[in-house]
């Protein structure tokens, strides 16, 4: 006997504007609508085509003024009331065929994976950071944490992965994987997904990770959240992927609750490096999948290192950063910050305003559209502390802000704040650092400023 019940479809309603509540925010509702059924009036308010509206709720979630609501006909309201009463009294009995299949599909995917990015057998540090974040997710879910290691002659990386927290490693080791190429790597990950069905896959938001994650998500038809700043698990085992949205003005938590695997990329230095557990061991699953070289369309003829004429400083990896903003006034004044950075053994960073003004190269930019940094000391000179800057440096161990405006937002996250003219404070700092070094042979700049 077939016991599956077929349920009446839950009415979705249509979006409707609540009179007098729209603040004409700039058409967020319109840009969020997936079926283009919102036009904007001359007053900047939405006019909704109710015939086209599919009741997806996106405009309602996007509206900052709670000016939209769902409209239901009396008949739809009656059905909703009946369904609600039935759910209260029976729950699962009403689960329709679609819901049952979804639940089965979700249950078929288990485990957290981190794709280990490597070049010539050397791992990108973000992969280790992700093993740290992945371990927390795996512990919450009660599943193993696996490292997906792909390359040529890279088995040793599995052991490094165990030392950084992986329980298992899935290894694809073949000459075709010597250099990263989108096609064979995408085929490889898709093959592994098909075979092992992980529920979560994390990759670094590096040039390679962004390329690979997008390609894989497209092939396996799942969601991908790029540049996450926070990861968690909700009560239904779904991955909560938090990232800045609307130009960094709000943090959005994105879910992928109807597709698997759930995929996310995270930028380097956003997650802390896990403690290395020397000698830790795990199981290696050796896979044989390797597309024939003749089928790979892209050939790597030569690898040319971009060393000459380019700014080689890696701001993201620096332990001490002296950053300058619009308060520096011009390009030449960055020499002052370089002097302080040299004394401290650090590097110079910048806000986007300084980069846009052409005072310093983009590779030094810290923030949402620049690098995410996590140094031991971050000294912000003449930087106001816009949210787009702060998301890139707020996890620094110690933040020292120098700004002549006592109301500058940067002071809200600063460990130490100096209200004053940077052209007086920075030379004084340099002098004190030199004094300390001369006296002690070592430097204690942070205490000197405080
Ligand atoms: C989508 C988007 C992405 C963005 N991404 C980034 C990003 O990645 N990184 C980033 O930094 N910004 C980013 N921005 C820009 C960001 O919104 C700010 O405009 C920018 O960070 C401001 O730079 P600033 O603090 O140097 O300049 P301002 O905001 O102009 O601040 C200059 C500060 O210097 C102080 N000052 C001036 N003279 C002195 C002095 N002599 N001594 C001491 N203090 C002085 C002033 O009091 C002021 O607080 C982004 C914006 C958008 C919309
Ligand atoms: S509910 Fe969805 S489809 Fe309807 S107007 Fe809003 S965004 Fe568009
Ligand atoms: S999102 Fe809300 S406030 Fe903005 S235009 Fe639409 S209805 Fe108005």
The pick from 65, 66, 70, 246 for probing ligand 3's pocket by mutation, whose C-beta has the most ligand atoms within 8 angstroms, reads 65
Task: List, chain by chain if needed, residues with CB within 6 Å of any ligand 1 atom.
Answer: 247, 325-327, 351-354, 365-370, 382-384, 386, 388-389, 392, 402-405, 408, 421-423
Q: Which ligand is nearest to the CA of 404?
A: 1
The span from the CA of 442 to the CA of 211, in Å, is 44
The span from the CA of 394 to the CA of 199, in Å, is 30
Q: Write the burial class of residue 341 (CB in 10 Å: 0-12 exposed, 13-18 middle, 19+ buried).
A: buried
Beta carbon of 207 within 6 Å of any ligand 2 atom: no
Beta carbon of 48 within 6 Å of any ligand 2 atom: yes
Beta carbon of 27 within 6 Å of any ligand 2 atom: no
Contact (CB, 8 A) for 139 and 165: no
Position in ligand 1 atom list of the atom nearest CA 353: 23
pLDDT of residue 33: 87
N- to C-terminal Cα distance for the chain?
A: 77
Q: Write the burial class of residue 127 (CB in 10 Å: 0-12 exposed, 13-18 middle, 19+ buried).
A: buried
Contact (CB, 8 A) for 124 and 265: no
Distance 387 CA to ligand 1 centre (A): 9
pLDDT digits (tens, 9 = 90+) for 234-274: 988 999 999 887 766 678 899 999 999 999 999 888 899 99
pLDDT < 70 regions, the chain = 1-8, 87-96, 247-249, 306-312, 439-450
- Residue 160: its H or E element: helix 155-163
In sign, the C-alpha dihedral spanning 274, 279, 281, 286 is positive
The pick from 245, 371, 372, 388 for probing ligand 1's pocket by mutation, whose C-beta has the most ligand atoms within 8 angstroms, reads 388
The full DSSP string for 319-341 is: SEEEEE-GGG-SSTTHHHHHHHH
pLDDT of residue 239: 96
Distance 37 CA to ligand 2 centre (A): 7
The span from the CA of 381 to the CA of 418, in Å, is 10
Compute φ and ψ for 400, nearest 5 degrees: -115, 120
pLDDT of residue 440: 56
Residue whose token pair is 């998301």: 391
Distance 248 CA to ligand 3 centre (A): 19
Q: Which ligand is nearest to the CA of 367?
A: 1
In sign, the C-alpha dihedral spanning 73, 75, 80, 85 is positive
Q: Whose CA is nearest to atom 37 of ligand 1?
A: 327
The pick from 370, 383, 393 for probing ligand 1's pocket by mutation, whose C-beta has the most ligand atoms within 8 angstroms, reads 383
Six token digits for residue 361: 């190269």
Helices (H), 70-124: 74-90, 97-107
Beta carbon of 17 within 6 Å of any ligand 2 atom: no
Distance 15 CA to ligand 3 centre (A): 12
pLDDT of residue 131: 98
pLDDT of residue 1: 39
Q: Which ligand is nearest to the CA of 387?
A: 1
The span from the CA of 329 to the CA of 326, in Å, is 6
Compute φ and ψ for 410, nearest 5 degrees: -55, -30
The pick from 382, 396, 409, 410 for probing ligand 1's pocket by mutation, whose C-beta has the most ligand atoms within 8 angstroms, reads 382
350, 351, 356, 357 alpha-carbon torsion, rounded to 10°: -70
Position in ligand 3 atom list of the atom nearest CA 27: 5
pLDDT of residue 350: 98
pLDDT of residue 418: 97
CB atoms inside a 10 Å sphere around CB 73: 11
Six token digits for residue 381: 């000179």
The span from the CA of 360 to the CA of 356, in Å, is 8
Distance 173 CA to ligand 2 centre (A): 47
Distance 245 CA to ligand 3 centre (A): 16
Distance 347 CA to ligand 3 centre (A): 44
The span from the CA of 413 to the CA of 247, in Å, is 20
pLDDT of residue 385: 96
The span from the CA of 407 to the CA of 153, in Å, is 55
The pick from 227, 369, 386 for probing ligand 1's pocket by mutation, whose C-beta has the most ligand atoms within 8 angstroms, reads 386
Beta bridge partners of 382: none
The 3-state DSSP composition of the chain as helix, strand, coil percent (nearest 5) reads 35, 20, 40
Compute φ and ψ for 232, nearest 5 degrees: -155, 180
Beta carbon of 101 within 6 Å of any ligand 3 atom: no
Please count the residues of the chain: 450
State the pTM of this model: 0.62
Contact (CB, 8 A) for 24 and 6: no
Q: Whose CA is nearest to atom 8 of ligand 2?
A: 33
CB atoms inside a 10 Å sphere around CB 365: 23
Which residues lie closer than 8 Å to 403 by C-beta, 6 or more apart? Answer: 327, 380, 381, 382, 383, 384, 385, 410, 411, 417, 418, 419, 422
DSSP state of 371: B
């Amino acid at each position: 006997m077939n016991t599956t019940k077929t349920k009446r479809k839950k009415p979705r309603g249509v979006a409707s504007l609540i009179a007098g509540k729209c603040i004409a925010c700039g058409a967020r509702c319109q840009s969020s609508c997936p079926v283009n059924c919102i036009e904007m009036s001359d007053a900047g308010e939405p006019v909704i085509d109710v015939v086209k509206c599919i009741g997806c709720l996106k405009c309602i979630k996007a509206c900052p003024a709670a000016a939209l609501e769902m409209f239901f006909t009396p008949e739809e309201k009656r059905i909703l009331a009946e369904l609600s009463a039935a759910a209260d009294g029976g729950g699962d009995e009403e689960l329709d065929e679609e819901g049952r299949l979804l639940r089965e599909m979700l249950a078929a995917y288990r485990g957290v994976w981190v794709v280990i990015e490597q070049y010539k057998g050397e791992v990108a540090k973000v992969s280790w950071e992700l093993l740290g974040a992945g371990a927390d997710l795996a512990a919450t879910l009660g599943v193993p944490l696996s490292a997906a290691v792909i390359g040529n002659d890279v088995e040793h990386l599995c052991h490094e992965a165990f030392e950084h927290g992986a329980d298992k490693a899935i290894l694809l080791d073949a000459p075709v994987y010597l250099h990263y190429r989108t096609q064979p790597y995408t085929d490889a990950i898709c093959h592994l997904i098909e075979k092992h069905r992980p529920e979560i896959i994390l990759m670094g938001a590096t040039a390679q990770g962004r390329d690979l994650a997008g390609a894989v998500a497209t092939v396996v038809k799942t969601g991908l959240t790029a540049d996450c700043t926070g990861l968690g698990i909700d009560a239904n085992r779904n991955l909560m992927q938090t990232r800045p949205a609307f130009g960094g003005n709000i943090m959005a938590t994105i879910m992928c609750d109807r597709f698997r695997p759930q995929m996310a990329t995270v930028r380097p230095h956003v997650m802390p490096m896990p403690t290395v557990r020397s000698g830790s061991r795990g199981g290696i699953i050796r896979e044989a999948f390797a597309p024939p070289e003749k089928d790979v369309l892209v050939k790597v003829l030569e690898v040319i290192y971009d060393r000459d004429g380019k700014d080689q400083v890696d701001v993201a990896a620096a332990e001490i950063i002296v950053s300058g903003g619009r308060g520096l006034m011009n390009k030449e004044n960055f020499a002052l910050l370089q002097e302080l950075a040299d004394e401290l053994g650090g590097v110079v960073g910048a806000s986007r305003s300084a980069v846009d003004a052409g005072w310093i190269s983009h590779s030094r930019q810290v923030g949402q559209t620049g690098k995410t940094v996590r140094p031991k000391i971050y000294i912000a000179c003449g930087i106001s502390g816009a949210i787009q800057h702060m998301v890139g440096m707020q996890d620094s161990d110690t933040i020292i802000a120098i700004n002549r405006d006592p109301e500058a937002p940067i002071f809200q996250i600063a460990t130490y704040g100096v209200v004053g003219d940077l052209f007086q404070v920075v030379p004084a700092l340099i002098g004190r650092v030199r004094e300390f070094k001369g006296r002690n042979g070592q430097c204690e700049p942070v205490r000197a400023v405080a």
